[in-house]
Structure 1
Amino acid sequence: MEKKVIFFEVQGGNDKGPDGYRKDTMPMVHALQQRGQDAEVIFFDVAKKQEILDYVKENAIAYVSRINPGNLKDESAYFSMLRQLCEEGIIGMPHPDAMIGYGAKDALVKLTDTSLVPSDTYAYYTIEEFKKTFPKSLMHGIRVLKQNRGSTGEGIWRVQLMDELAQDATEVPLTAKIKCTEAKDNHVEYFELATFMDFCEQYIVGDNGMLVDMQFLPRIKEGEIRLFMLHDKPINVVHKKPADSEDAFSATLFSGANYRYDKPEDWKDLVNTFLSQLPDVMQRLGGYDLPLIWTADFILDTDELGNDRYVLGEMNCSCVGFTSELELAHNVADEIISKINEIILKAI
């Protein structure tokens, strides 16, 4: 019996089409079937976890996860099932720990001693740590705080001081007035620093809570550059230019950003720099195989010599969508088959 490629989805969520599937899932299934590789979709249900586990172990050669963890009632149960499948020899696309390692915002902190991420990038896992360190980091210029949960810019804040500090200041006083702009829709709010830090506690408490703190790069106004990757292959580049208004810095469509689709050849310097560092990135993020479909977002900066450099701002791999470019389903199908064949050959 030919083994299948199983695509995992979950019912519900705002990422589904009228048929109940993600709009980019069935194109991948059909592309695999056209190439002679059997494939099907299974909706994960925690109540049927054992039944699903047994079926996939028996019938699948590989799985592809197409679930936004935010749509799961029990994320840990899903990841636990995926780990069991990987331990049983099912090819994970991706392995659940790669999903966590590449997708969590604190991946950036693990890369601060590479040229991809500035050294003054911090992660706060406790409220105490946040309140102790953030007033010091804000001393050195405009900062961006990013929560680990949420999407489309929710809980990502640009924070800047309203007034100059005293010359002998060693940290920003708790009473300092700050201007905060949220990436979700570029709206502005004004706080005292102490009040804002109290407000941010919501991002640290609870499962997977944390805040990442990094310097604001003003060249974001020129656009964020997203590499769309299949394993180690850049397939296309999305240039995401924020809306042309004074406070806009968000590169999401929801916030009014303008998207342009380029070829990897149009961004040779960025692509070559990133690909040359991928082995190091993989090692620092746990040593897992690269995810099947993932993205790396970069912001332009200027180095000490006045040359362009690219700063990694975020990676996503839990469920990267390509609904506006469904023809990429054929690239994905080819990559899945190539990966399966590569692993089968290694096992011989």
Structure 2
Amino acid sequence: MVKKVIFFEVQGGNDKGPDGYRKDTMPMVNALKQRGQDAEVIFFDVTKQDEIFNYVKDHGIAYVSRINPGNLKHEAEYFTMLRELCAMGVIGMPHPDAMIGYGSKDVLSKLVSTNLVPDDTFAYYTMEAFKAQFPTSLANTERVLKQNRGSTGEGIWRVKLVNPLAKGVTEVPLDAEIKCTEAKDNHVEYWKLGEFMTFCEQYITGANGMLIDMRFLPRITEGEIRLFMLRDKPVHVVHKKPADAEDAFSATLFSGAQYRYDAPEDWEELVQNFLIQLPLVTSLLGNYDLPLIWTADFMLDTNGAGEDCYILGEMNCSCVGFTSALTLAHQVAEEILACIAEQTQILA
């Protein structure tokens, strides 16, 4: 029996076309079929989980997850099913734990031993840890706090002291006034530090709750640089320049950022440094195979020698879209076939 590549989707959500599928899913299915590899789409439904599992176990050689976790009510059950499929020999693109490892904001704190992330980057999983460290972080430099959940800049705050600290003070008092700008739309709010930290408890509590605390990089105004990757191959670069406004630091379209699409060759220094680091990144994130389709976002900084360097701000592999360049479906299909060939050879 010739086995299929199964694309997992979920019904509903604002990422679907008129036919009910993501706009970039059927182009991949069709590109595989053109190359002689059968493929189909299955909509995950927790009430049919056992039926879906058995079908894919028997008929699937690999799966490609095209589900945005924000559109999935039963994420834990979905990931459990994917783990079981991988354990049964179905090739995961990506493995669910790779999806979590590469997609969670705390990827930054896990990569501080690379040259991609500053060593004063912290992950907070409890309010106690947040309260113990953040006033000291803020005393040293302007900060950015990032929640793990949410999207389009929601719950990502640039935090700045309104008044400088007295000389020698190494911890910001809880009654100090701070200026907070949210990346969602670059709006500004003023808080007392202690009250703002209490407000941030919503980001830490609950499933997958955490906050990442990293230094603010002023050169974000020059643009965020997104590498669009197919496994270990950079395909294109999106340069995302924030709106030209005093407090603007968000690189989302919603906030008014301007996007430009470049070739990887236009960013050779960034690309080559990242590719050199990939084996270490893979090791630090659990030694899973690289995701099929994923992105890495960088910001410009200046090192101690006064040279340009690039700081990792986020990675994403849950369901990276390419609806603005659907011809990429053919390259994706080639990568899927290459991955199947590699895994089949390893098992043989």
Taking structure 2 as the reference length, what is the TM-score of the superposition?
A: 0.99
Specify the alignment match of 1:151 in structure 2.
151
List gaps (5 residues or longer) in structure 1.
Answer: none
The residue matched to 2:168 in structure 1 has which SS?
A: coil
How far apart are 1:279 and its partner, in Å? 0.3
**Is 1:34 equivalent to 2:22 in the alignment?**
no
Quote the residue 1:263 is aligned against: 263
Give 1:7 shift.
0.3
Q: Which secondary structure state, in structure 1, belongs to the residue aligned with residue 106 of structure 2?
A: helix
Q: Please show how residues 49-68 of structure 1 align to structure 2 within 5 Å.
A: 49-68=49-68
Residue by residue, what CA displacement relative to the aligned partner does 1:190-243 show, whole Å, maximum 9, x if unpaired?
111111111100000000000000000011001000000000000110000001
Which whole-Å CA distance do the structure 2 matches of 1:338 and 1:346 have between them? Answer: 12
Q: How many residues align?
A: 348
Conservation of the 8 A alpha-carbon contact between 2:282 and 2:290: yes
CA deviations 1:99-138 (Å, max 9, x no partner) are: 0000000011011011110000000000111112111100
AA of the residue aligned to 2:346:
K
What's the counterpart of residue 238 of structure 1? 238
State the AA in 2 paired with 1:43.
Answer: F
Give 3-state SS (helix, strand or coil) of 2:272's partner. helix
Aligned to 2:292: 292
Aligned to 1:108, what secondary structure does the other structure show?
helix
Q: Structure 1 residue 105 and structure 2 residue 105: aligned?
A: yes
What is the correspondence of 1:46-125 to structure 2 with a 5 Å cutoff?
Answer: 46-125=46-125
State the distance in 2 between where 1:61 and 1:249 align.
43
Separation of aligned partners in 2, 1:21 and 1:8: 10
Question: Percent identical across equivalent pairs?
Answer: 74
The question of whether the paired residues in 1 share the 8 Å contact of 2:177 and 2:190 is answered with: yes
Partner-residue secondary structure (3-state), 1:105: coil
Structure 1 stretches of 4+ with a deviation exceeding 3 A read none
What CA distance in whole angstroms lies between the structure 2 residues aligned with 1:124 and 1:93?
Answer: 29
* Cα distance in 2, alignment partners of residues 169 and 133 from structure 1: 14
Counterpart in the other structure of 2:321: 321
- Report the more deviating stretch, 15-24 or 252-261: 15-24
Provide Cα deviations, 1:234-290, integer angstroms capped at 9, x if missing partner.
011000000111111000111111111111111110010000010000000000000
Asked if structure 1 preserves the Cα contact closer than 8 Å seen for 2:140 and 2:170, the reply is no
Q: Select between 164-173 and 333-342 the one with higher mean Cα deviation.
A: 164-173
Residue 310 of structure 1 is matched in structure 2 by 310
Separation in 1, partners of 2:253, 2:29:
27
Alpha-carbon distance between aligned partners in 2 of 1:18 and 1:188, rounded to the nearest angstrom: 38
Please give the root-mean-square deviation of Cα atoms over the aligned residues, in Å.
0.7
1:345 Cα shift? 2.0
User: What one-letter code is carried by the residue in structure 2 that aligns with 1:238?
Assistant: V
Equivalent residue, structure 1, for 2:8: 8
SS of 2:195's partner is: helix
